[in-house]
């Protein structure tokens, strides 16, 4: 019997509304359910760290995502994330539970926390994965881009637990919930002797981020070098607004100053999984497609019929964006009328 899969249930802040469990946890939970089946129904655990009384608000999410046991570490000193406190607690739980696999979301918090835990435990960490599987030896096979995104490497870890971080939006949450008779186990935070080196003063909103919120968009219209200039991007924005879509960009478009970094999609930008992704003048380099290939439907417009983006497109439109987009805009306007 496998020793199980532990997931980190990150608590994150959302405006003034207080805290919520980061959506990446539910994406990891869906994947963990798949991995568990390949490990003879290995138990799935979650670790939740936060202030006193917190778990009451979140029980339902664990129960409906088939989590067997949630280790809850509540203490008012844990209200806000602290690298030192949280990593000490996670290490203590792992030492006691000895899970075979430990998966954390590659969020700002997860990227800070995971390496500290893995180095304290003397185990390996495959960071920023885009896929996870179990190989025929029952090991975690963690895939991530390597050599500047030229290759996909599947990495195995010799030590235990096998650790990985996974970007938000790489996996989809469960479509249908699988309920469990989830156990909630309270653990005491043994942090009295831990020196907290960083003091949190305040949270400031990133206005640019809120404006774009690409990750939540149902439709994304993205532009690349083929959009040529700012006028080209204006055309893209007009098209996007008619579709109630968000605008994304390739890295080249960002480097050309046509879009902000917040709008960049791909290996060094955002990972998105909208219902419809419309790529305009984007060639489809691997570093771009790792960030959008999980979209439900991909439509690509490109003058080059051999552009790699067409290999993953559901609808391929070979043609000039400056002819096709104005035509589409006209048609949508007519239909709206
Ligand atoms: C370490 C590393 C990380 C990277 N991270 C990212 C990342 O996160 N995101 C990302 O996007 N890239 C990333 N890149 C860059 C990536 O390798 C590509 O260079 C980039 O995605 C190409 O952008 P593009 O498709 O806009 O430009 P190009 O590859 O130049 O493609 C432009 C396309 O537009 C088409 N076109 C031209 N004119 C028209 C027209 N009038 N109508 C229709 N089509 C037209 C052309 O046929 C061409 O296919 C990264 C690279 C490295 C090395």
Whole-number pLDDT of residue 74: 95
Whole-number pLDDT of residue 215: 85
Ligand 1 center to 283 CA (angstroms): 5
Using the predicted structure, report yes or no on whether residue 336 has a pLDDT greater than 90.
no
Provide, rounded to the nearest whole percent, the portion of the chain with pLDDT above 90: 78
Give the atom of ligand 1 at the shortest distance from the alpha carbon of 253.
26
CA dihedral for 77, 81, 83, 88, sign (positive or negative):
positive
Ligand 1, atom 29, residue with closest C-alpha: 283
Q: What are the structure tokens assigned to 43, written together?
A: 């138990």
Ligand 1, atom 39, residue with closest C-alpha: 226
Residue-range domains of the chain with CATH? 5-187 (3.40.50.620), 207-336 (3.40.50.1220)
Average pLDDT over residues 52-68: 91
Confidence band (pLDDT; 50, 70, 90) for 15? low
Ligand 1, atom 48, residue with closest C-alpha: 283
Ligand 1 center to 237 CA (angstroms): 19
Ligand 1 center to 321 CA (angstroms): 15
- How are beta strands 140-146 and 131-134 bridged, if at all? antiparallel
pLDDT tens-place string over residues 181-210: 999 999 999 999 999 988 888 877 766 655
Confidence band (pLDDT; 50, 70, 90) for 82? very high
Confidence band (pLDDT; 50, 70, 90) for 1? low
Using the predicted structure, report yes or no on whether residue 148 has a pLDDT greater than 80.
no
pLDDT tens-place string over residues 229-255: 999 999 999 999 999 999 999 999 999
Which of 49, 317, 21, 302 has its CA nearest to residue 173? 21
Whole-number pLDDT of residue 30: 97
- How does the average pLDDT of the chain come out, rounded? 92
Give the atom of ligand 1 at the shortest distance from the alpha carbon of 309.
49
- Give Cβ neighbours of residue 128 (< 8 Å, ≥ 6 apart): 106, 144, 145, 165, 166, 167
Ligand 1 center to 57 CA (angstroms): 44
- Residues with beta carbon inside 6 Å of ligand 1? 148-149, 224-226, 250-253, 264-269, 281-283, 285, 287-288, 291, 301-304, 307, 320-322
Using the predicted structure, report yes or no on whether residue 78 has a pLDDT greater than 80.
yes
- Using CA atoms of 147, 152, 156, 157 in order, give the dihedral in degrees to the nearest 10: 40
Ligand 1, atom 4, residue with closest C-alpha: 287
Are 142 and 102 in contact, with CB atoms under 8 Å apart?
no
């Amino acid at each position: 019997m496998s020793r199980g899969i532990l997931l980190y249930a990150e608590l994150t802040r959302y405006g003034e509304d207080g805290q919520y469990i980061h959506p990446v946890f539910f994406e990891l939970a869906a994947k963990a359910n798949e991995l568990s089946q390949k490990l003879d129904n290995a138990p799935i655990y979650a670790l939740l760290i936060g202030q006193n009384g917190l778990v009451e608000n979140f029980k339902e999410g664990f129960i409906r995502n088939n989590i067997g046991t949630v280790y809850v570490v509540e203490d008012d000193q844990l209200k806000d994330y602290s690298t030192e406190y949280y990593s000490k607690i996670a290490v203590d739980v792992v030492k006691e539970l000895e899970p075979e696999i430990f998966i954390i979301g590659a969020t700002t918090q997860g990227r800070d926390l995971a390496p500290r835990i893995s180095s304290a435990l003397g185990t390996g960490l495959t960071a920023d994965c885009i896929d996870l599987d179990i190989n025929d030896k029952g090991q975690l096979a963690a895939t991530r881009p390597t050599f500047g995104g030229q290759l996909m490497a599947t990495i195995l870890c010799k030590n235990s637990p096998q650790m990985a971080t996974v970007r938000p939006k790489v996996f989809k949450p469960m479509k249908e919930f699988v309920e469990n008779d989830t156990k909630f186990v309270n653990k005491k935070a043994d942090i009295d002797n831990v020196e907290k080196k960083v003091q949190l003063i305040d949270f400031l909103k990133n206005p640019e981020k809120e404006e774009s919120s690409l990750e939540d968009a149902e439709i994304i219209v993205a532009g690349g070098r083929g959009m040529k200039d700012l006028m080209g991007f204006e055309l893209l924005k007009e098209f996007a607004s008619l579709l109630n879509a968000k605008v994304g960009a390739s890295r080249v478009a960002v480097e050309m100053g046509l879009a902000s970094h917040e709008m960049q999609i791909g290996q060094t930008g955002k990972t998105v999984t909208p219902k419809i992704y419309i790529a305009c003048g984007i060639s489809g380099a691997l570093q771009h497609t790792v960030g959008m290939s999980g979209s439900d439907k991909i439509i690509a417009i490109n003058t080059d019929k051999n552009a790699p983006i067409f290999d993953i497109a559901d609808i391929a439109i070979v043609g000039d964006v400056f002819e096709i987009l104005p035509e589409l805009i006209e048609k949508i306007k007519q239909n709206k009328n």
